[in-house]
A and B are shown apart, each in its own frame.
Chain A
Amino acid sequence: MAFKNDDDKAAYWKENLSLLAKLLVVWFVVSFGAGILFVDALNEIRFFGFKLGFWFAQQGSIYVFVVLIFVYMAKMNALDKKYGVDEE
């Protein structure tokens, strides 16, 4: 048994899912939100030489994706340590 007790196991999974949900909301908002659904509204805003919606669709969303994975990695490693289920 890797966890101290069942409560810990449930709490770990709950924290994991809530982190996932938060990160996936960001994932959805930058790509499907800013890049597709609200692209016309955002295109009214200038960001350097870009229309903002166009920038999100062809540049910004990709940068955010990369950051999301590294944030996930750091938070999950911390969570594993907190519950003593890391691989060290």
Chain B
Amino acid sequence: MDVQLLTFIIVGASFALYIAIAIWARAGSTTDFYVAGGGVPPVINGMATAADWMSAASFISMAGLISFMGYDGAVYLMGWTGGYVLLALCLAPYLRKFGKFTVPDFIGDRYYSQTARTVAVFCAIFVCFTYVAGQMRGVGVVFSRFLEVDIVTGVVIGMAIVFFYTVLGGMKGITYTQVAQYCVLIFAYLVPCVFISMMVTGHILPQTAFGATLADGSGIYMLDKLDQLSVDLGFTEYTNGSKSTIDVFFITFALMVGTAGLPHVIVRFFTVPKVRDARKSAGWALLFIAILYTTAPALASFGRVNMIETINGPDMAGTEISERPEWIRNWEKTGLITINDKNNDGKMYYSAGKASDPASANEVDVDRDIMVLANPEIANLPAWVIALVAAGGVAAALSTSAGLLLVISTSVSHDLLKRNFAPNITDKAELFYARLAAGVAIVIAGYFGINPPGFVAQVVAFAFGLAASSFFPAIIMGIFSKRMNGKGAISGMIAGIAFTAAYIIYFKFVNPAANTPDNWWFGISPEGIGTMGMMVNFVVAFVVYKMTGEAPQEIQDMVESIRFPKGAGEASGH
């Protein structure tokens, strides 16, 4: 059977599974819709959280990024996992005890302010839309490459599937489909990687193969060979990065704190029955995430060795362009690999220069996003593995989109509509508006997936920076400082966001030409500035609090009551 037919069958079967689960787990009330009835077992919730968190970026792009960044790729590996430690230790159990549906609910109640609630709602909606547009794009790319339908059709199919189970099932439908999606995506990620580890080093586990000797009997460690290859071709050593230490530090911190502040991640911990389950569920979530995140750097290094050897040949002198393998031809059609035979010797050669630069020796440009998808083809794996990877990529994108869309719909129907405009609305009507909002959000997300604004990648830095500089400090102070008052927290959030947004907008949009380490403050890139925004938030909040006095006694009592588990009820809207 050919790859395309197999891909249709495997992707189609996975879709049928998601729809069947959605029908089985329909939502009957707002509690079902917002927090899955609050009755999800911790291990299941951990798995769903992992699928929710691991997006098309984690599945498709991350290993490719690491492959081209080497050591510097650690900012993503540590940043996107270390945040769960903060989440589990400092946020999740307390927010679960607080027992409301959403993050803006906490901010609004804790700081006794409708303004704070509304600011939080708009931040949440902005962060989620940023993300979801990228996910829809990921679905489109997978469809167009593997099923050879155009991107528009791909996005529309993806929208239809997500629409079906988000609108019908709400959080309950999403949670159980995400469990299925986690299984599909992790299997799809591990299978090709195990094959490749076996081929390169003879180890089954990618995590140990990563530090093993090559299978060719030379006794050379894989990473040493990769360092040597990189240096020979004019790159920096793979295991040494090229970013400055301070920048790596700040980016990692911003990603960690941003992760802990992302509303679609936090809301997952409202779905478990007890405070102790929230702690446990965070542990399971990180364990399930770690399986992919410790595999990714191994995949990245094997992929890089394979790619260099395929293009440059075993003797590192280049290979005949006319005899280039099928996978290069396939990706050339999508424009993600380009070959430019500059010295007209009929051979292609990959090195540190740019293919577009006539003076450099490099003749091949490879887009970083294709590493995971192309890896099975590069390593000549069987067709079903390639089909599986396509299904995994779609599962990763769909599971994250659904989680994000749910936060958008909750924010609109619950935080904006019920809390601001129509407090007496019935449960049934609120549920109707939640579904309507989810439907509208999917259409908008689909539009951005088909017509991606050129700045999707830049805006992701924005999403993390915003979460790091606004939500995280406000929630932390809300729990750990019972006297922190509303004025302090609101000024902190506004100062943090304004500072972070100004820095990012200046370097990414107003004056992109100046976006070099020489012009950055203290050498901190826009990706890492959220860390400083967070500090600004803390300092401003503290100063304003000192000038305006303590929070009211009933708020302090409320904070004391969320600090221990006993008496945690089901999450509710009242």
Is B290's CB under 8 angstroms from A62's CB? yes
Cβ-based interface call for B355 (8 A): no
Is B564's CB under 8 angstroms from A12's CB? yes
CB distance from B485 to the nearest CB of A (A): 20
Chain B residue with Cβ nearest A16: B563
**Which chain B residues (277-310) contact chain A, with CB distance < 8 Å?**
279-280, 282-283, 286-287, 290, 293-294, 297
CB distance from B243 to the nearest CB of A (A): 10
The 8 Å CB contact of A86, one of B207, B213, B276, is: B276
Q: How far is the CA of A16 from the CA of B93 in the complex (A)?
A: 12
Residues of B within 8 A of A43 (CB): 239-240
Cβ-based interface call for B428 (8 A): no
The 8 Å CB contact of A62, one of B88, B240, B253, B293, is: B293
Please, what's the 1-or-0 string for A57-68, where 1 marks a CB less than 8 Å from any CB in chain B? Answer: 111011101101
Is B74's CB under 8 angstroms from A35's CB? yes
Residues of A within 8 A of B417 (CB): none
Is B276's CB under 8 angstroms from A59's CB? no
The 8 Å CB contact of A37, one of B85, B208, B222, B249, is: B249
Cβ-based interface call for B245 (8 A): yes
Residues of B within 8 A of A80 (CB): 276, 564-566
Residues of A within 8 A of B66 (CB): 58
Cβ-based interface call for B211 (8 A): yes
Residues of A within 8 A of B224 (CB): 49
Residues of B within 8 A of A65 (CB): 81-82, 84-85, 286, 290
Chain A contact residue count (CB 8 A cutoff): 45
Cβ-based interface call for B248 (8 A): yes
Known: A49-B221, A54-B239, A66-B290. A85 touches B564 (CB 8 A): yes
Is A32's CB under 8 angstroms from B252's CB? yes
Chain B contact residue count (CB 8 A cutoff): 51
Cβ-based interface call for B484 (8 A): no
Is A85's CB under 8 angstroms from B85's CB? no
**Which chain B residues (209-236) contact chain A, with CB distance < 8 Å?**
210-213, 221-224
Cβ-based interface call for B77 (8 A): yes
CB distance from A37 to the nearest CB of B (A): 7
CB distance from B50 to the nearest CB of A (A): 12
CB distance from B566 to the nearest CB of A (A): 4
Greatest chain A CB density within 10 A among B90, B211, B290 is at: B211
Known: A65-B85, A72-B279. A49 touches B213 (CB 8 A): yes
Main secondary structure of the interface of B (DSSP, over half): helix
Chain B residue with Cβ nearest A77: B276
Residues of B within 8 A of A37 (CB): 245, 249
Cβ-based interface call for B457 (8 A): no
Cβ-based interface call for B274 (8 A): yes
Cβ-based interface call for A45 (8 A): no
Q: How far is the CA of A80 from the CA of B93 in the complex (A)?
A: 12
Q: How far is the CA of A13 from the CA of B297 in the complex (A)?
A: 39
Is A76's CB under 8 angstroms from B279's CB? yes
Is A59's CB under 8 angstroms from B297's CB? yes
Cβ-based interface call for B423 (8 A): no
Q: How far is the CA of A85 from the CA of B208 in the complex (A)?
A: 43
Is B565's CB under 8 angstroms from A66's CB? no
Cβ-based interface call for B459 (8 A): no
The 8 Å CB contact of B249, one of A20, A36, A68, is: A36
Chain A residue with Cβ nearest B90: A20
Is B78's CB under 8 angstroms from A73's CB? no
CB distance from B527 to the nearest CB of A (A): 15
Q: How far is the CA of A54 from the CA of B89 in the complex (A)?
A: 26
**Which chain A residues (1-56) contact chain B, with CB distance < 8 Å?**
2-3, 9, 12-13, 16, 20, 23-24, 27, 31-32, 35-37, 39, 43, 47-51, 54-55
Known: A32-B253, A65-B81, A87-B276. A2 touches B566 (CB 8 A): yes
Chain B residue with Cβ nearest A86: B565
Chain A residue with Cβ nearest B80: A62
Cβ-based interface call for B560 (8 A): yes
Residues of A within 8 A of B507 (CB): none
Q: How far is the CA of A12 from the CA of B74 in the complex (A)?
A: 37
Cβ-based interface call for B467 (8 A): no
Q: How far is the CA of A28 from the CA of B221 in the complex (A)?
A: 30
Cβ-based interface call for B99 (8 A): no
Q: How far is the CA of A42 from the CA of B224 in the complex (A)?
A: 16
CB distance from A77 to the nearest CB of B (A): 6
**Which chain B residues (236-268) contact chain A, with CB distance < 8 Å?**
239-240, 245, 248-249, 252-253
Q: How far is the CA of A73 from the CA of B283 in the complex (A)?
A: 8
Q: How far is the CA of A27 from the CA of B82 in the complex (A)?
A: 8
Chain B residue with Cβ nearest A57: B74
Cβ-based interface call for B27 (8 A): no
Is B564's CB under 8 angstroms from A69's CB? no
Residues of A within 8 A of B280 (CB): 73
CB distance from B413 to the nearest CB of A (A): 30
Chain B residue with Cβ nearest A73: B279
Chain B residue with Cβ nearest A67: B283
Is A59's CB under 8 angstroms from B81's CB? no
The 8 Å CB contact of B564, one of A3, A51, A73, is: A3
Is A70's CB under 8 angstroms from B212's CB? no
Is B89's CB under 8 angstroms from A23's CB? yes
Is A87's CB under 8 angstroms from B212's CB? no
Is A51's CB under 8 angstroms from B90's CB? no
Q: How far is the CA of A13 from the CA of B565 in the complex (A)?
A: 12
Residues of B within 8 A of A63 (CB): 290, 294
Known: A31-B78, A54-B239, A59-B297. 9 other contacts (CB 8 A): A20-B89, A35-B74, A49-B210, A58-B74, A61-B78, A69-B279, A73-B280, A73-B283, A85-B565
Q: What are 7 sample pairs from A and B whose C-beta atoms fall under 8 A apart?
A: A23-B85, A24-B85, A31-B252, A32-B253, A50-B223, A69-B84, A87-B274
Considering the complex of A and B, which 7 residue pairs feature the smallest CB-CB distances, nearest first?
A49-B221, A57-B74, A49-B211, A69-B283, A85-B564, A48-B211, A85-B566
